[in-house]
Amino acid sequence: MEMHRSNVGFIDLDAMIETTKSNGMHSHQISNPIPGIKSILVDHNNELVKIQGSAKILTDNYLQGISSNTFEPWIERINQMGIIDLNISKVYEDGIFHSLDTTHNVDVGQWGIDKQWGYIQNSIILAAQNPLFNATPYKEKTNKGVAFIGTQKHSKNRLIFYAKHLELNRGANREFFKCCKNPMDVLNQSTNLLRVESNNTSHKDIKERFGIKSLRVRDVLNATKKPTMVMLDKITMPGKANQLNMLLDEHPEGTPIDKIAMIYGFENIIRNANYHIPTIRSFVKMYTTDAMFRWWWSGGKKSTISIRDLIFEVQKKDLGVSNKNNVVMEHIKNSIMNDYTYLKIA
């Protein structure tokens, strides 16, 4: 977050380190990060103050995040450190964000992170349909999660899901808990919370994902667009035919589908299409007549099994869950939408 020096009342420059670079850049900055405040920098050349911070400065209220509901207490907590005194209304109106993360805490207690993590993780991975995103699962005692990383070069597309209580339990958070009045309460609140987090690291991405024209604090905190849902929809949207393209190139339209099934096996075809129903349905239509399509797709005299039902069976066999009823992903989406109802966007 950046603001003009005029939005700041008091700055204790004696508590900071003075720096003058060869290019003439003259600044002061804090020497050691404070839980919730990574950096405070005073740019004397441009009369700017820049703060890199997080919701951890809210201590016991950390899990509420930074939003229009908590922005004022967040600024007040920064001021209470005694290093700087920000004018809340001026920062709200004139301050700008250069980058920010959007976060949501989804309660998955009905399954239990420690009890059914494999099921939760596979449900998240299975919902991904966009081939432009790579899924990286990690399942360790101290780090359970899934990271979706986009291969796009023009912007950073990243959405991660992870067990919040395991992340908070790491030694790196020891100083944060020392600042809390009731650290165990904070830790207990995080039990069975799945943190969903995306990064917005460029001006263009912030404006597009939040649906705003400026980077001002006021506009970001009052944005009506839902950036996390935008990213989630990117990942779960219908993908392209991916690996089936190779098969389609080798066998022209009109080849009997039973011949193709004999060569490749329907289960392998389903896996190559990443279990993607629209892709597989189009594939079946390409290799059947209009009259025979419904028999192969829904089951009938000319097929031994419904291909549509086989998709769900293969998903269930491979991953322990199928998209026929992906209740975990539906629960995640509903929880995030409820967050936006309360204007909790960052």
Give per-residue pLDDT as tens, 185-203: 999 999 999 999 999 999 9
Q: What is the residue type of 293?
A: F
Residue 243 confidence (pLDDT) above 50: no
d(CA 72, CA 61): 13
What's the full length of the chain, in residues? 346
The reply to whether 313 falls in a domain is no
Give the residue from 94, 127, 150 where a domain finishes.
94
The reply to whether 319 falls in a domain is no
Give the residue from 94, 127, 160 where a domain finishes.
94
pLDDT at 131: 75
Residue 113 confidence (pLDDT) above 60: yes
Residue 235 confidence (pLDDT) above 50: yes
Question: Strand pairing of 26-29 and 37-43?
Answer: antiparallel
d(CA 201, CA 157): 9
Strand, helix or coil for residue 278? helix
Q: Do 209 and 293 fall into the same domain?
A: no
pTM (2 d.p.): 0.78
Position with higher pLDDT, 236 vs 39: 39
Q: Which helix (H) or strand (E) holds 84?
A: strand 84-86
Q: Do 110 and 170 fall into the same domain?
A: yes
Q: Burial level of 172, CB count in 10 A (0-12/13-18/19+)?
A: exposed
Residue 254 confidence (pLDDT) above 80: no
The reply to whether 311 falls in a domain is no
The reply to whether 85 falls in a domain is yes
Residue 98 confidence (pLDDT) above 50: yes
Beta bridge partners of 45: none
Q: Do 104 and 220 fall into the same domain?
A: yes
pLDDT at 251: 62
Q: Across residues 205-225, what is the average pLDDT?
A: 95
Q: Do 58 and 196 fall into the same domain?
A: no
Q: Do 141 and 53 fall into the same domain?
A: no
Q: Which domain holds residue 172?
A: 100-237+325-341
Percent of the chain with pLDDT over 70: 91
Q: Do 329 and 300 fall into the same domain?
A: no
Q: Where are the beta strands (DSSP E) in 128-283?
A: 133-140, 143-150, 158-163, 193-200
pLDDT at 173: 95
Give the residue from 37, 62, 94 where a domain finishes.
94
C-alpha distances (whole Å) from 63 to each of 16, 168, 178, 203, 313 are 29, 11, 16, 26, 39
Q: Do 203 and 121 fall into the same domain?
A: yes
Q: In this predicted model, what pLDDT tens digit does every residue of 291-312 receive, in sequence order? A: 888 888 888 765 567 888 898 8
Strand, helix or coil for residue 262? helix
Among the ranges given (117-121, 198-202, 266-270), the one the predictor scored with the smallest mean pLDDT: 266-270
149 with 158: CB under 8 angstroms? yes
C-alpha distances (whole Å) from 151 to each of 99, 135, 231, 260, 274 are 20, 11, 14, 32, 18
Going by pLDDT thresholds of 50, 70 and 90, the confidence category of residue 276 is: confident
Q: Across residues 43-65, what is the average pLDDT?
A: 96
d(CA 30, CA 81): 12
Give me the number of domains the chain comprises.
Answer: 3
Q: In this predicted model, what pLDDT tens digit does every residue of 148-195 receive, in sequence order? A: 999 888 888 999 999 999 999 999 999 999 999 999 999 999 999 999
Q: Do 109 and 227 fall into the same domain?
A: yes
Q: Do 196 and 248 fall into the same domain?
A: no
